[in-house]
Structure 1
Amino acid sequence: MNPKLHPAHVFGFIVSALILAGAIWVALHGPTGPIPMHFDASGQVDRYGTRYELAAVLAGMSVLNLIVGFLTGKQADSTPDPVRQKALRSGQYVTVAIMAAVAAFISWSSLGPSAASGMTSLSGAMAFMGAVFLTVGAILGRVGPNAFIGVRTPWAFKSRLAWDKSNRLAGRLMFWTGLVGLIASPLSPQPFGLIALTVAVVLMAIFSAYESWRVWKNDPEAQSF
């Protein structure tokens, strides 16, 4: 199959086109009044903007998605090893899916109930984060070394074993953290539930980075600095 026609490329183009179409719709038909653009820790709107600002944000995400998708896809296309290529394709799919989810969440936050109430649902934000972490965690352990997603520490890039083990650990931690966050989102008092989920993700990142260093240090085939 021609690498340029790989389904991962098509998926990226479709997502970018949908985000851009959403940006155009917002610019032409979005609310003419102030639109929530930023929220404080309690979920209260603390900055409003115009539909053109929201459209510009979405259009920028569309372009960014194209660039990241192209670069990750190009790396996969140039890899002769089928196993490594498959791992890089997983990363390509994940990055594009995350961009689509973030664009959808931003649109919902600015145009949904918060546009009228001036307050966003922190439980909804927690559920969204949990769903994203759960999805990414289920795939992260299969993603090969790349510059955009995964445990991208210096030690992980100097040892393939360190990359694989630290990303498998991060994937498991992210999956279970996301699952717990998703289940707990309608029950947790806010903003404490969202803060707890954020802290858990930070700790997960620290543990995964440490794992990459630990494995690199003990890997006889690791490259030195």
Structure 2
Amino acid sequence: MRIRVFDGILWGVTFLLVVTVFLMPDTVPLHWDENWQIDGYGSRYMFLILAFIPMAIYYGMTLTKHIDPKRMNLEKRKKTYRLFQYGLTVFFLILAAFFEYSAFNPQQDGEQFVLLLVSVLLIGMGNYLPKIPQNYFFGVKTPWTLASEYVWKKTHKISGYCFILIGFINGISALVHFSYTYLVLMISIIGMTVFIYVYSYFLFRKCSQNIDE
């Protein structure tokens, strides 16, 4: 019943997002720079893509759960998986609604809202990343996490801490209106990605050496 209610809400909100697109001017702002100044315009129909992204994520995650070779792992943690599915869908619904609002109010400064929304997403994901079971579609997938369940668990645990840390740093930067918040966010995410990839490799290598000995 809960799933059907969410499906109904998703379809209803998506319908409203699509209808709103046809109420926009033919040409609308599509891109803002790091100072939240409009630096790109285009057709209103580009917003149709944004409107359907939440639905694509929601039903895409439903599909991948059923075709994943390790789907039994996901079944054991289906509440966690469903939480990510709902959370990501709601995140992109809010984002789509916000950018459609910005198309009608192009001078509205939305930088802080977007950054705080991203911070909430990162912190939320960080809290639940360690609970994601080994699978082929969702999570931190490196050759070494997929090869070893132990490496998967340890990598996701450290990844969770990284997500939360970056989320807090980004949120604080947004609240104090730090001029280079976007730059800090991008560097943090790239640095975290490299660190996690290297960490999983060396952890797998250490485990392999212990087994050989």
Normalized against structure 1, the TM-score is what? 0.77
Gapped regions of structure 1 (runs ≥ 5): none
Aligned-CA RMSD value: 3.0
Query: Following superposition of structure 1 onto structure 2, how do residues 1-225 of structure 1 map, counting pairs within 5 Å?
Result: 10=4, 13-14=7-8, 16-28=10-22, 30-72=23-65, 75=68, 78-79=71-72, 85-87=75-77, 89-112=79-102, 115-118=104-107, 120-190=109-179, 192-220=180-208
Change beyond 3 A, Cα 1:119–1:109: same
Is the 2:65–2:71 contact (alpha carbons within 8 Å) kept by the matching residues of 1? no
1:74 is displaced (CA, Å) by 5.4
1:186 is displaced (CA, Å) by 1.7
Is the 1:12–1:65 contact (alpha carbons within 8 Å) kept by the matching residues of 2? no
1:128 is displaced (CA, Å) by 1.6
Instruction: Quote the Cα distance in structure 2 between the aligned partners of 1:15 and 1:216.
Output: 43
Is the 1:15–1:96 contact (alpha carbons within 8 Å) kept by the matching residues of 2? no
Instruction: Quote the Cα distance in structure 2 between the aligned partners of 1:157 and 1:169.
Output: 16
1:129-164, CA deviations, whole angstroms, 9 ceiling, x for partnerless residues? Answer: 111101110111111123343211111100111111
Instruction: Quote the Cα distance in structure 2 between the aligned partners of 1:200 and 1:150.
Output: 18
Is the 2:125–2:160 contact (alpha carbons within 8 Å) kept by the matching residues of 1? yes
Instruction: Quote the Cα distance in structure 1 between the aligned partners of 2:165 and 2:134.
Output: 23
Change beyond 3 A, Cα 1:99–1:46: farther
Count of matched residue pairs: 210
Instruction: Quote the Cα distance in structure 2 between the aligned partners of 1:210 and 1:172.
Output: 16
Change beyond 3 A, Cα 1:10–1:159: farther
Runs ≥4 in structure 1, deviation > 4 angstroms? 9-12, 73-78
Instruction: Quote the Cα distance in structure 2 between the aligned partners of 1:144 and 1:46.
Output: 42
The amino acid of 1:53's aligned partner reads M
Instruction: Quote the Cα distance in structure 2 between the aligned partners of 1:34 and 1:57.
Output: 16
Instruction: Quote the Cα distance in structure 2 between the aligned partners of 1:54 and 1:142.
Output: 34
Is the 1:44–1:119 contact (alpha carbons within 8 Å) kept by the matching residues of 2? no
Bigger shift: 206-215 or 19-28? 19-28
Is the 1:38–1:47 contact (alpha carbons within 8 Å) kept by the matching residues of 2? yes
- Sequence identity (%): 14
Gapped regions of structure 2 (runs ≥ 5): none
Change beyond 3 A, Cα 1:198–1:78: closer
Normalized against structure 2, the TM-score is what? 0.81
